[in-house]
């Protein structure tokens, strides 16, 4: 029987000719990731194991990004734990403040993940690297510990949903709108335990940053992973960023899918997810009059250079509405630098926004932009659960950088069209 793209990658890493959905396998890992929240728990678990050395010091990535620069003493202790472990184990890919970034933007940028890899990360948005044609999925800290110790992880081979994308998105419509549309359509558990495989000619009309944003939010539909075919653009990205050898896998022609969805990208509108679930989506023409207090532009979903360029295009020569706080956080140091060189940061600051060092910050209600009771934020992040960005009575609306930036100017949820753009 034919295999999906995901199944082929898993089979190859389990040393098997053939796998099928539901089968339990043990696969070799190309990379194991952890951050300042999850790695300390994993390090502690690994200490309980008889294996004292990591399986391969080049195949571990440790990125303190959630509460960094250290938010408080407890966070500092966690980061210290990660740092000491990294030094002690001589971990090659430990990224300290100054060279770090939000993990899921950083790893592809550093060339640590390429097509055909199997990656686990103790962070749910590890699924981001599917944009490069890798199998990557989020796990917990104990899995991370076992992965660091043995270089292996157990998986249940997933079945898959196929999304056939055609057409070209209208202006301002981005990968974020596509994935929000899909989550709105299938629900937050619509892809539970499954792979989301994206195929079709429409993909050539999506930038790599669009694809990263889409694969990033596969978990928001409950998926195990999201994955894209490896086309010229993906190959070009890998050549620019990595020296690692990549391997292209393609789904078999007779691969079985639980469901096939056809999506004409040209028919999609700007989309916003209302509180408190990413599936509560509405197109921009149906949002009504929603006044906002804060705008957050950044995160592992939309903190990349394309995202900042789009936001700057909207904010150029305009002012943030009185009473609205706008926080921009470029996802990595490189993106920060690039945005500075391109003059994007000046545009943000002149418009009345603040620009933060790369951090997860307000995305998970950590620091740098917490909401008070009754406050509303438009965020380019990926989750709008109760209390996600602060008080349990605050609200988060998920949107693209274009919508976030336009909303910053009008003070209510708006698309760039409202500004005559």
Partner 1 sequence: MKAFGTVHKYGDNVDTDVIIPARYLNSSDPKELAAKCMVDIDKDFVDRVKPGDIMVANKNFGCGSSREHAPIAIKASGISCVIAETFARIFYRNAINIGLPIIECPEAAREIEAGDQVEIDFDSGMIYDRTKGTRYQGQAFPEFMQKIIKAEGLVNYINNQ
Place of tokens 């399986």: 55
Smaller CB separation from partner 1, 362 or 416 = 362
- Report H helices in 24-65: 39-47
DSSP letter at 2 equals B
The sign of the torsion formed by the CA atoms of 329, 332, 333, 337 equals: negative
Of the CA atoms within 13 Å of residue 373, those in its CB half-sphere come to 0
Task: Annotate each residue in 254-293 with x if it binds ligand SF4 (CB under 6 A) or - if it does not, as one string.
Answer: ----------------------------------------
DSSP letter at 92 equals T
Asked if 123 interacts with partner 1 (CB under 8 A), we say yes
Question: Where in 37-66 is the site for ligand SF4 (CB under 6 A)?
Answer: 66
Question: Where in 377-396 is the site for ligand SF4 (CB under 6 A)?
Answer: 381-382
Asked if 337 interacts with partner 1 (CB under 8 A), we say no
Place of tokens 């339990």: 24
Q: How many residues bind ligand SF4 (CB under 6 A)?
A: 13
Asked if 371 interacts with partner 1 (CB under 8 A), we say no
DSSP letter at 40 equals H
Asked if 102 interacts with ligand SF4 (CB under 6 A), we say yes
Describe the strand order of the beta sheet including 395-398 as a list of residue ranges: 281-283, 271-273, 395-398, 376-379, 294-298, 325-329, 354-355
Q: Which distant-in-sequence residues (6+ apart) come within 8 Å of 240 by Cβ?
A: none
Q: Which of 178, 162, 149, 317 is nearest to 229 (CA)?
A: 162
Question: Where in 25-44 is the site for partner 1 (CB under 8 A)?
Answer: 37-38, 40-41, 44
Q: State which of residues 132, 139, 227, 328 lies at the interface with partner 1 (CB under 8 A).
A: 139
Smaller CB separation from partner 1, 303 or 365 = 365
Q: State which of residues 17, 52, 72, 288 lies at the interface with partner 1 (CB under 8 A).
A: 72
Question: Where in 253-282 is the site for partner 1 (CB under 8 A)?
Answer: 277
Radius of gyration of the chain (CA): 20
Q: Which distant-in-sequence residues (6+ apart) come within 8 Å of 415 by Cβ?
A: 172, 270, 284, 402, 403, 406
Asked if residue 327 lies in contact with residue 368, where contact means CB atoms within 8 angstroms, the answer is yes
Q: State which of residues 7, 137, 225, 299 lies at the interface with ligand SF4 (CB under 6 A).
A: 299
Residue numbers of the site for ligand SF4 (CB under 6 A)? 66, 102-104, 123, 125, 299-300, 360, 363-364, 381-382
Contact positions vs partner 1 (CB under 8 A) = 24, 37-38, 40-41, 44-45, 48-51, 66-67, 71-72, 74-75, 78, 121-124, 126, 138-143, 145-146, 149-150, 154, 188-189, 192-193, 219, 222, 224, 277, 364-366, 383, 385-388, 392
């Amino acid at each position: 029987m034919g295999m999906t793209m995901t199944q082929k990658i898993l089979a190859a890493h389990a040393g098997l000719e053939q796998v099928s959905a539901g089968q339990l396998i043990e696969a070799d890992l190309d990379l194991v990731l952890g951050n300042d929240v999850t790695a300390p728990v994993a390090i502690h678990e690994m200490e309980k194991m008889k294996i004292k050395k990591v399986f391969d010091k080049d195949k571990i990535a440790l990125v303190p990004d959630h509460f960094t620069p250290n938010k408080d003493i407890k966070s500092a202790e966690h980061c210290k734990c990660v740092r000491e472990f990294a030094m002690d184990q001589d971990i090659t890919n430990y990224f300290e403040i100054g060279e770090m970034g939000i993990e899921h933007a950083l790893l592809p940028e550093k060339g640590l993940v390429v097509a055909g890899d199997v990656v686990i990360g103790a962070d749910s948005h590890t699924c981001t690297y599917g944009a490069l044609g890798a199998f990557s999925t989020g796990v917990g800290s104990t899995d991370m510990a076992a992965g660091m110790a043995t270089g292996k992880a157990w998986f249940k081979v997933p079945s898959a949903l196929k999304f056939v994308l055609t057409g070209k998105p209208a202006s301002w419509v981005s990968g974020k709108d596509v994935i929000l549309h899909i989550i709105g359509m299938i629900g937050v558990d619509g892809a539970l335990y499954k792979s989301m495989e994206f195929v079709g000619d429409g993909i050539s009309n999506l930038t790599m940053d669009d694809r990263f944003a889409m694969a990033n939010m596969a978990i928001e539909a409950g998926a195990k992973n999201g994955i894209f075919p490896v086309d010229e653009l993906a190959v070009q990205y890998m050549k620019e960023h990595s020296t690692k050898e990549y391997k292209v896998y393609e789904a078999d022609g007779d691969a079985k899918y639980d469901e096939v969805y056809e999506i004409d990208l040209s028919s999609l509108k700007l989309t916003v997810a209302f509180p408190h679930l990413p599936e509560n989506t509405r197109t921009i023409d149906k949002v009504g009059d929603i006044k906002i207090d804060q705008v957050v532009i950044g995160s592992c979903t939309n903190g990349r250079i394309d995202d900042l360029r789009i936001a700057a295009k909207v904010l150029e020569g305009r002012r943030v509405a009185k009473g609205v706080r706008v926080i921009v956080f470029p996802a990595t140091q490189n993106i920060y630098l690039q945005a500075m060189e391109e003059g994007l940061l000046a545009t943000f600051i002149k418009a009345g926004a603040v620009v933060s060092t790369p951090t997860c910050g307000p995305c998970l209600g950590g620091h740098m932009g917490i909401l008070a009771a009754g406050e509303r934020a438009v965020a380019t992040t990926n989750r709008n659960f109760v209390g996600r960005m602060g008080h349990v009575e605050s609200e988060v609306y998920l949107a693209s950088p274009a919508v976030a930036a336009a909303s910053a100017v009008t003070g209510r949820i708006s698309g760039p069209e409202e500004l005559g753009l």
